[in-house]
Structure formats: C-alpha cells, structure tokens
Structure 1
C-alpha cells in the first residue's frame, strides 16, 4: 500500500509540472505575436494617405505618420517622391505648423488637364489632378543693376511657406501662423508660395529678346517681406530707361512691367576676419533685404588672392559673412584688400587684417 501511494503521488506531481509547463508556453506563445506586431508597426515606412494639388507649383501631401529626419533631406526626398508625366520635386518637403504628418511639397509646374501619380518610396501610388492656379504677385521692381523682385502680400491671402511650416516657426516669431488642411486661418483662405528653389522667370525688354532670370536663393521672404529676387545672367544688367515685362508659366502679375533706372551699387565700408575661412563684410547702410545673396568678394594680398562667397542668411543688419572657397584659408598676420566680384558693390581702400601668428 505505501508503494502504491508513493507511485500515485509521483504521477500526480509529474502531471502538475507538465500542466504548468504547458500553460507557461501557451502564455509565451500568446504574448509573442503582440510584441512582434508592435515592432512591425513602429518600423513600418510612412505611407501617403492623400495628395492635394493646391497650386501650380505646390502639393499638400498627408502621410499616416511623420517622415523620419533622413527622409526630408533633399537627395533622399528626390528618390522617394516619384511622379509621372514629367513632374518632379524641387526641394525638401516641409511639415506644416500644427500638423503631425501633413507636408508642403514644392514641385515643377503642373500641366493643365493632367492626372498625376505619386509613388512614395517605391510603394503605394496615389493619384491626383493638376491644379494650374498661378501665384499672384502685385508688381515687379528693380532692386540692383542686375536684380529685380516680385512683390506679394499676406493681406491678399498669399503667404510664403516659411510662415506656415514647423521648421521656420520659431524664427518667424509673431509672423508665423497655422493653416488647417483646407489652408484657412480664422476663416480666411490662403494660397501658399512654396520653395522657389531652381525656378526662373523671363524678363523681356521692349523690342528685345526674352532673358531668363534665376531665383536668388533665400530671398523669397526676408525682413518680414514677401519679395523674391531674380537675377539676370552673369555680366548682364538692366538698361536704364528700358521698359521690361516679367512673365512665367507659374506667376500671375497684376503689374508685370517696370522701367529700369540707374541704381547705385552697394558700398562696402569695412571687413574683418571671423576665422581663417571666413570674413565679415559691412555695408555703409543696412539694405534691409537679402542683397548679399549670391555675391562674392576677392581678397588679395602679397601672398596671392582668394575668393569668398556670401553665406546665405548670415546677414545681421549691414554685415554679412563671406566664406572662403575651394578649401582656401587666410594666412596669419596678412593684410587683404577687399574687391567685390562684379558691379554689385564698391570698396574703396577696404582691407581685412588677420591676427599675427602667436610668438613661440
């Protein structure tokens, strides 16, 4: 009898252990798919939910979640945003202020009556119809001998994208605001001017041939103004007394004509070294606009000459930073003469003196 009880107890214990093991495995098997599903969702690439063409050069693209940082770099964006019918992205997508996953996407000019397809990151394809609404500008106006600008106003319901995107929100201060998905704010509709990178207009002198003029980077909204600048090809200038007409397939001008005048060049009054690869150039007066953009100076000394180009958006009042090109560096204890490249400015006896090398 004792042996029988011992065997029964042993069998019962074995049964309990086996049952516990089975229950444990079952719990693990049930928990595992949940963890795997969470990981898959976290790692899944963003997908396009909706594409809206809001004007001839601007799309509004809604994703199921925010794009990762690397996806909004220009080269990556060009690979990810693939369109048909000749359309292409021209600059990085920008997250709208107040949105978690809606982006302003600048594109080349859309063609009337065209249906487009967007394939994002080689996956889901979304269709949308062309919108050929042009960007309205009030007038064109000469700025320098080779540069002119187009003017628009927020009061007219036209806003530069810089005021409504998250990336520039802090820098725009009180001028920044939010638009909903219908691009309205406080009951007022707005047309968005997206990035003008690589865009051109045509300027035609009375009785002459059309001249292409390229957009000057980082000038489309500065100092609280919406006045993008366009520059003639190098070496060409606006002829005083000549009437010019501005046109492009993406703009609508209320006043498309201006008469060129003789404009005095900017006046450089001083220069100072910032580092061995950059100098500060100061004008006689604050131009209150990004007139340094695209400009260069030549620094000449007994040791030779180096070129320096304006660092975009570095201007503070009348002073802008110019960076040396092609890996050049300023030599210590040397006096450099400053000379503007081209006729955009004058510099009478302006010098930059670098700090002497420390004594050993």
Structure 2
C-alpha cells in the first residue's frame, strides 16, 4: 500500500513564515474555513467502523466507535441504509444492523453471500475502507420438516452451537423472554460456549430437488425464523404448488449446512376456517377450528367476496396469532363497508371454509 502524502496549506504557510520567507497568496476565505470546521465536527458525529468480523457467509459482526443513530437502524429506512454500506465484490447488506445484547456499538449485519478468502473493502458513509477476508462458512441446520402441503422448516438448535439472532439482539430482547441472552464479541455466552449466528433471513431461499428429477426454489416466509420460541424458519413452495405425497425432497442452501436434508412428503390436511369477526374497517380476526401450535398462518391470504359484488384481499398480520386466532389486514388500501357481508375464501388452498362470513363495520 502506498503512503499518500498530504500538504496542509496552513502548516506550509507557518513553516515558510518561520523561515523568514514571506509569500503573499489569496486572502483567507472565512466562509470556507467555517465550512471546514463544521464538516470536521459533523464527521466526528458519524459512527466509524473499528472492526469487521465475518461470522459466516451471510453474517458480519461490525463494531463502531459509537452507537448508530436511530434512523440508521430503522427498518423503514432500509434502502437508504443499504447505500451507507459500500462494499466491493458485489456484496451488500440485506437488512438493517442490529445491536447485540449488552453491547454498546457492536452489530449483527446480514449480507449477501461472501466468497471464501476474497478480500473485501467496506466503507461506511463514505469513510475510510475497512478490509476483511470473506468466508463461505455455512450455518449448521439439523433437519428439514414438512409442516403443511406447501411449507417446510429448517430447524437448528442452540445445543448444536447455533443461535438465531433474534435471541441475542437488543431490539427483540423484551419479547424473547427466557430465550434472550447475550454473547460477546468472540461469540461466546457467559459459560464460554461459542455460537454461530443465523442473521436475518429476509429474501433468503433454498433449492429443492425431488426424486422425480424436478428442481425449484422455496422462499423464506417472513417473520418465522424465531417464532414460537423455535429456531425453525419456514420455506414455502411457489404459489399454487404443493408437495407430492410419497416423493422424496432434498433441500440445499448456500447459507446452511443441512445435516438431514431429505424428507418424504406426506399428505397434510389443510386448515379449516371457523369464523371471522371484524376489529375495525381495515382488519379482522380469523379463527381456525384447531390451534396450529406454531405460526403457520404466516404469509397466508384470503379473498373477501361482498354481497354487494365487491372483492377485497386480506393478509395475515405477522406474529399476531393467539392460539387458533390470527389477525388479517385488508390489503391495497381497501376497507370493509358497514352493512356488507363478506364470504371468506382462502387463497391457494391453504385452508377450507364453509359459509364463513365476515360482517363489515
């Protein structure tokens, strides 16, 4: 690396004057000088990266000089935040940084997949580059389990030294109960046990191959990776497709080393809708006949057919399930009309419904 020499005009002028050589140049611009002072002060207020540590191929642990501003970790600002992290090698973040529990300025940062031994440079908010060496290390997943006709889970366990990031970040600490704990910058807990970290699975997918020679992609179902106290994120087949009874499926992933990657599909009965009750003009409760025991409503939608000829769509509100009841929100800015009765129809056959009617209010 070549050392870049910088000549500071003020210092140069001082040295010349000290030598008795007086040279007159352009007069000092007070406004420009003031702007430089302000710029320097603003730069001091921006957090700077002090260390970048790859945990696995999709996860970085990044330490800053100070905590990041609230706007710089707000999920609503994700697209802007992505631009703050400038990598070479086509690497980019996929979700916002999350402060590690009991840390002041060390964050879990999910990224697209790194290449092993590739030398990456990361600049945060146009500051100096930090260099780190990439890794293609995968996260250990113990098994794959079918949960519905179109959905399966990839389950990992803390006893195997794998923790979902939801259990070790400040943002989710309050809602994790006994599942919440902290690990240090060496990724060890209070007892010294080391953990690999599953970071955000936003936009992640797995590849599925069948014993019949088919191949397709199954996408992550948002907000399921640490639901119900488990580390069992759901992955769903493309809309309208189902797993075929008796067929063997093998699951592969660029981010997970799956121990038991094969399963034979069984016939899974769809859920049965029992009733629907409006909460307000934009949401309603939908009750199943049985408690699914986990958040299997995630990513599901229904169509509402009004007796006035109108139609609406509604989507499950993530993490809203309480027992057999989940909340659905009207999509696309629609509203329920007072006095209109809506017949509830599940989309893509995830459930059956017989005369389930929602009364608008």
**TM-score, normalization by structure 2:** 0.86
Cα distance, 1:260 vs structure 2: 0.3
Q: Is 2:273 the counterpart of 1:268?
A: yes
Partners of 2:163 and 2:249 lie apart in 1 by 26
2:50 corresponds to which residue? 49
2:98 corresponds to which residue? 94
Q: Deviations over 1:210-264 (max 9, x none)?
A: 1111000001111111101111111111110000000012111111100001100
Q: Is 2:351 the counterpart of 1:339?
A: no
Partners of 1:150 and 1:331 lie apart in 2 by 41
2:186 counterpart (179, 182, 196)? 182
Q: Is 2:324 the counterpart of 1:324?
A: no
Partners of 2:214 and 2:112 lie apart in 1 by 25
Partners of 1:121 and 1:42 lie apart in 2 by 10
Contact map agreement 2:227 2:319 (CA 8 A) in 1: no
Cα distance, 1:41 vs structure 2: 7.3
Contact map agreement 1:77 1:93 (CA 8 A) in 2: no
Equivalent pairs, count:
320
1:164 corresponds to which residue? 168
1:23 corresponds to which residue? none
Contact map agreement 1:272 1:281 (CA 8 A) in 2: yes
1:203 counterpart (188, 201, 208)? 208
2:317 counterpart (300, 311, 314)? 311
Aligned-partner SS, 2:267: coil
1:127 corresponds to which residue? 131
User: What is the Cα-based RMSD across aligned positions, in Å?
Assistant: 1.6
1:68 corresponds to which residue? 69
**Rg larger for:** 1
Partners of 1:226 and 1:287 lie apart in 2 by 17
Aligned-partner SS, 1:342: helix
Contact map agreement 2:212 2:247 (CA 8 A) in 1: no
Cα distance, 1:209 vs structure 2: 2.4
Partners of 2:147 and 2:209 lie apart in 1 by 17
Residues 286-295 or 175-184, more deviating: 286-295
1:20 corresponds to which residue? none
Partners of 1:62 and 1:289 lie apart in 2 by 35
1:234 corresponds to which residue? 239
Partners of 1:131 and 1:93 lie apart in 2 by 19
Partners of 2:156 and 2:209 lie apart in 1 by 21
Partners of 2:164 and 2:343 lie apart in 1 by 39
Q: Deviations over 1:262-307 (max 9, x none)?
A: 1000111111101101111111122121111111011112221111
Any gaps of 5 or more consecutive residues in structure 1? 1-35, 356-360
Partners of 1:77 and 1:41 lie apart in 2 by 18
Aligned-partner SS, 1:184: coil
Any gaps of 5 or more consecutive residues in structure 2? 1-36
Partners of 1:161 and 1:334 lie apart in 2 by 44
Aligned-partner SS, 1:78: helix
Cα distance, 1:76 vs structure 2: 2.4
Cα distance, 1:94 vs structure 2: 0.2
Partners of 2:89 and 2:214 lie apart in 1 by 30
Aligned-partner SS, 2:349: coil
Contact map agreement 2:341 2:358 (CA 8 A) in 1: yes
**TM-score, normalization by structure 1:** 0.86
Cα distance, 1:106 vs structure 2: 0.3
Partners of 1:42 and 1:238 lie apart in 2 by 55
1:7 corresponds to which residue? none
Contact map agreement 1:161 1:195 (CA 8 A) in 2: yes
Partners of 1:122 and 1:289 lie apart in 2 by 44
Partners of 2:210 and 2:112 lie apart in 1 by 26
1:249 corresponds to which residue? 254
